[in-house]
Structure 1
Amino acid sequence: MKFQLDQAEGVNAITRVAPGQVWVQDHLHEQSVLVPWRGTVQAWAPRRFEELEPAHFEAILALQPELVILSSGAKLRFTHPSLYRSLIEARVGIETMDLNAASRTYTVLAGEGRKVVAALLLA
C-alpha cells in the first residue's frame, strides 16, 4: 500500500507498507522500528508481538512522545497493560492497531505536528 500525503518539513512520514516492510520517507526497513515524529528512525528490539516486554515500552519514553501508535503486526492484537505501565505512569497515550492502520494514523498525526511515535512490529 502506498500513501500520498502533504507533509510538514522535517517530519517523518511512513510512505509505504508491505508485508514485513515499511518505508519511512525513502528508507526501507525490514525489522521492527520506532518512528518518532522528528529525528532518527531507530531499530526496535522486539521482532514479534510475543516478544514484547516492559523494557521495550520504557525505551519509547526517551523519545518524549505524547502518544504512541503500536503496530501489533499484520493482525490486530492487544498487549496487557502491565507491559506498557511506564507509558501510563508518564501519561503517554497508547493506541494499538494493525500495521497498515498504525502507519496511516501515525503519518496523519505527525503531519499535524503531534508528538507521536510509531512503534512498528512488522512480523
Structure 2
Amino acid sequence: MQLQSESNPALNTVTAYGEGYIEINRVSYAHPVYFAPEGEIHTWQVQAAAEITADALRTLTGLNDARPDPMAFLNGADGAGKPDDAPEVVIIGTGGRQHLLPAHVIAPLLRVGIGIEAMSTEAAARTYNILMSEGRRVLVALLPNQETA
C-alpha cells in the first residue's frame, strides 16, 4: 500500500509497505529497520516480535550509551540516564498483527520518560508519519509483514 504521494527527502518518511517489505523515501527494505525523522535507516537485528527484549529497546533508543544520573535515587529511579537526543516516543511495528510487549520489556523506557507503543506494522507506519510530520521526536522500528502460505 502506498502511503505518501510526495515526500520530503530531508525527512525519513514511510512511503509504502506490503508483504515482506517496507519502503522509506521510495527505497524498499526486506528486513527489519529502525529510524528517526532525520538520519540513516538502520537494520534492526530483531526478526520477530517475540525477540524484542528490554536490552534490544535500550540499544534502539541509545539508553545503553547514556551516562547514569547519580542523583536519580532521590526520585526513586534506578540511575539509568536518558540521552539528550532520546525520542519522546518509540513506535514498534510488530508485523501483520499487533503483539503487545510485556511490561518488563518496556519498563526501562517508561522509567526514563520515553513512551512506547506496539502495533501492527501498517498502523506503526501511519502513526510514525503523522508524528514525524508534526515535528515530534519519534523513533520507529518496523518488522516487515511476513507472507503467509
TM (norm. structure 1) is 0.91
Q: Which amino acid aligns with 1:121?
A: L
Paired residues of 2:87 and 2:139 also in contact (CA < 8 A): yes
Paired residues of 2:12 and 2:36 also in contact (CA < 8 A): yes
* Matched residue, 1:47: 47
Answer 1 or 2: which has greater strand percent. Answer: 1
What 5-or-longer segments of structure 1 have no aligned partner? none
- Residues paired across the two proteins, number: 123
Per the TM alignment, residue 74 of structure 1 is displaced from its structure 2 partner at its CA by: 0.5
Moved >4 Å (runs of 4+): 5-9
CA RMSD, Structure 1 to Structure 2 (Å): 1.6
Q: Aligned partners of 1:109, 1:5: CA distance in 2, in Å?
A: 18
Per the TM alignment, residue 81 of structure 1 is displaced from its structure 2 partner at its CA by: 1.6
Q: Aligned partners of 1:118, 1:77: CA distance in 2, in Å?
A: 15
* Matched residue, 1:36: 36
Per the TM alignment, residue 9 of structure 1 is displaced from its structure 2 partner at its CA by: 5.9
* Matched residue, 1:110: 132
* Matched residue, 1:91: 113
1:119 aligns with 2:141: yes
What 5-or-longer segments of structure 2 have no aligned partner? 63-84
**Which of structures 1 and 2 has the larger relative contact order (alpha carbons within 8 angstroms, sep 6+)?**
1
Paired residues of 1:7 and 1:111 also in contact (CA < 8 A): no
Structure ID, larger Rg: 2
Per the TM alignment, residue 34 of structure 1 is displaced from its structure 2 partner at its CA by: 0.6
1:67 aligns with 2:89: yes
Give the share of equivalent positions with the same residue, in percent. Answer: 26
